[in-house]
Amino acid sequence: MCTFNSLQEEELNMTMQVAMVSKDGFVIASDTKASAGGDSVKPFSKDYRKYRSAETRKIVVSSDNTLVCAFSGNQIVSNVAHRLIRSVNENPGVDMSGCLEDKLQDLFATFDDNIQSATKGNLIVAFPALTGKLWDASFGGGAVCCQETFDCVIGGDFANSAIYFAQEYHSINRSVDELTMLAAHTVIESGLRNPTMVGGLDVLVSKNREKARFLEEDELQLLLRRSSEIHDALSNAIFR
C-alpha cells in the first residue's frame, strides 16, 4: 500500500510525485510544474493573487549517484534537498542511509524558528545501492519526521484521485520496467485532475543497484502516448 504524509492538502497540491519499490530497484516519477503565488481566498476578490508557473526538475541526484531526492511543498523543502545533495557531494563515500533523519534534522535546524514552523512539504529519498526500500520525510509543525517504506510513496498532491492507480496496481514483485509506466501514468492522470498545479513529466529509474538515470525525451513521449491510450481504453471499456 502506498503511504503519504498527513499535511494539509492546500499546502502540497503544487506537485505530484510517485516513488515505487520494485523487485529490481526503484522508480520515481514527478511532474515538472513549479507554481508560485495564489492564496485560499475566492477568485476575483481584491485580495486574490494569480498563480505563476514554470517548468523545473524536482528530482535531484548526488554527483556520485549514491543519493536521490524528490521534493514537494514549499521552497524550504527544495532547499533542504539541495543541501543534502551538496553534503554528499562534499563528502563522497559517506553512507548516510543509517543517519538520514539526524542529517535532515541538522539541516532543518539551520533555519530560523519562524521559517521552520511555516515549512510544509515532503521529501522522498532513495539510495540506489540499497534495494527494497525508500525514505519518506515529512515537514510540518516545525519538525521533520522520516520513515522507511518498502513499497510506494506519494508526494505532493496526495489528495488527488489519480493516486488510485498507484495504490491499486503497485506491487514490489513487479520490475522497474513494469512500474515505470504505472508511476508515469499516475502523474499524468493527476495533471488531468489538477491541471493548474500539476503538469509535465520527469522519471528517474534505478535497476539492479546500477547508476540511476533520468529517462530521455523520447522515452517520456512514449510514456505519454501509452498513458493517453490507457486513459481512452478505460473510458471506452466503461461506456461501451
Q: Dump pLDDT digits (tens) for 65-114.
A: 999 999 999 899 999 999 999 999 998 877 888 889 999 999 999 999 99
Count of domains in the chain? Answer: 1
**Over the stretch 203-219, which tens digit does the pLDDT of each residue have?**
999 999 989 999 999 99
Per the domain annotation, does 41 fall within a domain? no
The verdict on residue 46 lying in a domain is no
Higher pLDDT, 9 or 239: 239
Give the mean pLDDT of 177-182. Answer: 98
In a domain, 187, yes or no: yes
Count Cβ atoms below 10 Å from residue 60 Cβ, excluding itself. 17
Cell of residue 159, nine digits: 489528495
DSSP codes joined into one string, the chain = -EEE--S-HHHHTT-EEEEEEETTEEEEEE--EEEEE--SSPTTSTT---EEEEE---EEE-TTSS-EEEEEESHHHHHHHHHHHHHHHHSTT---TTSHHHHHHHHHTTS-HHHHHH--EEEEEE-TTS-S-EEEEEEETTEEEEEEESSEEEEE-TT-TTHHHHHHH--TTS-HHHHHHHHHHHHHHHHHH-TTT----EEEEEETTPPPEEPPHHHHHHHHHHHHHHHHHHHHHHH-
For residue 235, the domain's CATH number is 3.60.20.10
Alpha-carbon separation of residue 58 from 18, 162, 176, 214 (angstroms):
12, 19, 20, 12
How many Cβ atoms sit within 10 Å of the Cβ of residue 167? 15
Tell me whether residue 43 is in a domain. no
Residue 201, domain member (yes or no): yes
Q: What is the pTM of this model?
A: 0.87
Q: Give the domain range for residue 55.
A: 7-35+51-239
Residue 199 lies in a domain: yes
